[in-house]
Amino acid sequence: MSLITTDEQEALRDVMRGFLQKYSTEATVRTVMDTDAGYDPDAWRTAAEQIGVQSLTIPEEIGGGGYGFAELAIVMEEAGRTLFPAPLLSTAVLATTALLAVDTPVAHEYLGRIAGGELIATVAVAEKALHWDPSDIATSADQDGGAWRLTGSKPYVLDGAQAGVLLVAARTAAGVSLFAVEAGAPGLAVTPLESMDRTRRFAAVGFDGTPATLLGEDGAGWDVVARVYDQALTALACEQVGAAQAALDMTVEYLNVRHQFGRPIGSFQAIKHRCADLLVEVESARSAAAYASAAVASGADDASVAASIAKVYCSQAFYHVAAECIQMHGGIGFTWEHPAHLYFKRAKSAEALFGWPAEHRDRIAGLIGLTPA
């Protein structure tokens, strides 16, 4: 399990950073987040054609790049730096991981379309709870003349309105199973939700006798969902590290140019101490995300624990850095025109996504045997 990036991985970072400097500037983010789609289709296709972002972890024989989670983690960190408004987390992490775990001809067909940038996909799991838990799955799947139909709802699905296919966790007589539902299917209701963070989209999804395709073995869906969950938590943590670093860099730059009493305010001791604390938090978050990435990539026994630890620490670090970014910018940091509020909103939404830190502390305690899992 390696915690050190290779030259090839750093080259990928440089390429991704150059792409985002063109397609994810502040002006572009503000423009895209006010559109109905919530992402730029041209940027999405370019990411697939020129970099292969969506296909990184997909095997070469299916049309992918044949890389692993370590490379995807780098992409997520760089995307976080610029708040890249695209269905990257839902498609390249959640859906791709689920389809790779299923490993069926239907899954391969979807993966090929994802690799080419033709298909946006997402995973619909949580219902009443924000975190993923098998006891939370009430959406049911029943067979009708040999065909599966879903009934129930998923109140907050990441990129649910943008997805061409939804991978849905539903309960059958055999247990939790995973199903594919095509956009526009009969009985499928998708309602875009208004959210504080306009750079990331959610939708409420309802199923009323909706036709679905079983992916994998009936009743074996939760093993797939659990694998997706750890990768989702870790990818989100990497994204939070990138965003926290960007917010800190933005703050330090401002502190060096804003003068009071004839000197940069960043030279004041009280400000230096606050910045030093933020740097420690960001670097500690980077370490937590790096360890979780290495654990997930290698399939380590403690991957689930590492993923939840990264979620807890990176969520709190990003939120604190984003809040301090606003405070240290003074009055201008509170205005809509300044990017600080974009990072603050992403920090708050990311803190809740896939479960609050308190929920993951409980999960960690269960996983290490302190409380019943």
CA distance linking residue 20 with residue 83, whole number of Å: 10
> Distance between CA 237 and CA 75 in Å, rounded?
12
Indicate the fold that domain 7-119 takes in CATH. Butyryl-Coa Dehydrogenase, subunit A; domain 1 (1.10.540)
Class of domain 223-367: mainly alpha
- For the whole model, what pTM was predicted? 0.95
Per-residue DSSP letter, 1: -
Token reading at 365 = 């305690």
The rounded distance, in Å, linking the Cα atoms of 227 and 223 is 6
pLDDT in tens, the chain (373 residues): 466 888 999 999 999 999 999 999 999 999 999 999 999 999 999 999 999 999 999 999 998 999 999 999 999 999 999 999 999 999 999 999 999 999 899 999 999 999 999 999 999 999 999 999 999 999 999 998 889 999 999 999 999 999 999 999 999 999 999 999 999 999 999 999 998 999 999 999 999 999 999 999 999 999 999 999 999 999 999 999 999 999 999 999 988 877 778 787 766 788 889 999 999 999 999 999 999 999 999 999 999 999 999 999 999 999 999 999 999 998 888 888 899 999 999 999 999 999 999 999 999 999 999 976 5
Per-domain residue ranges of the chain? 7-119, 122-219, 223-367
Domain 122-219 annotated CATH 2.40.110.10 = yes
Phi, psi for residue 156 in degrees, rounded to 5 = -150, 100
